[in-house]
Amino acid sequence: MIEASRATGENNARRRRHLAEVVDYLRWHALRVAPDRTLVITYQSAEAAFAGIPNVETAHFNAIAGLDAWCDAAQIILVGRPLPPSEDINHLVGGFFGKEVAGGYGFCRRAVHMPDGSRRPVRVIAHGDPAGELLRSAICDDELIQAIGRGRGVNPTAQTPLEVQVLADVALPLVHAVVTSWDLAAPDLMQNMLLAGVAVDSPGDATALHPALFSSEKQAQKAFERAGFKRHSSYMDHIREMSLKSASYRRPGRGRSWQRAWRLPGLIGEDEARALIERTFGGLAEWRRLGSVAD
pLDDT in tens, 127-142: 999 999 999 999 999 9
Q: Is residue 2 part of a domain?
A: no
> Which residues, other chains included, contact 116 with Cβ-Cβ below 8 Å and sequence gap of 6+?
none
- Residue 232's alpha-carbon distances to 165, 194, 197, 274, in angstroms, are 31, 17, 20, 21
Domain match, 211 and 118 both: no
Question: What pLDDT band is residue 14 in, cutting at 50, 70 and 90?
Answer: confident
Residues 137-154 have a mean pLDDT of: 86
Question: What pLDDT band is residue 291 in, cutting at 50, 70 and 90?
Answer: low
Q: Is residue 13 part of a domain?
A: yes
Q: What is the pLDDT of residue 232?
A: 46
Domain's final residue, options 138, 161, 185: 185
Q: What is the pLDDT of residue 294?
A: 47
For the CA atoms of the chain, what is the radius of gyration?
Answer: 23
Domain match, 116 and 129 both: yes
Q: Is residue 22 part of a domain?
A: yes
Give 261: exposed, middle or buried? Use CB within 10 Å, 0-12, 13-18, 19+: buried
Domain match, 59 and 146 both: yes
The predicted model scores a pTM of 0.86
By residue range, what is the domain housing residue 49?
A: 9-185
Overall domain count for the chain: 2
Residues 171-188 have a mean pLDDT of: 94
Domain's final residue, options 185, 215, 240: 185
More confident residue, 31 or 12: 31
Share of the chain above pLDDT 90, in %: 73
Domain's final residue, options 151, 185, 219: 185
Q: What is the pLDDT of residue 15?
A: 85
Domain match, 46 and 154 both: yes
- 126 within 8 A of 136, measured Cβ to Cβ: yes
Q: Is residue 253 part of a domain?
A: yes
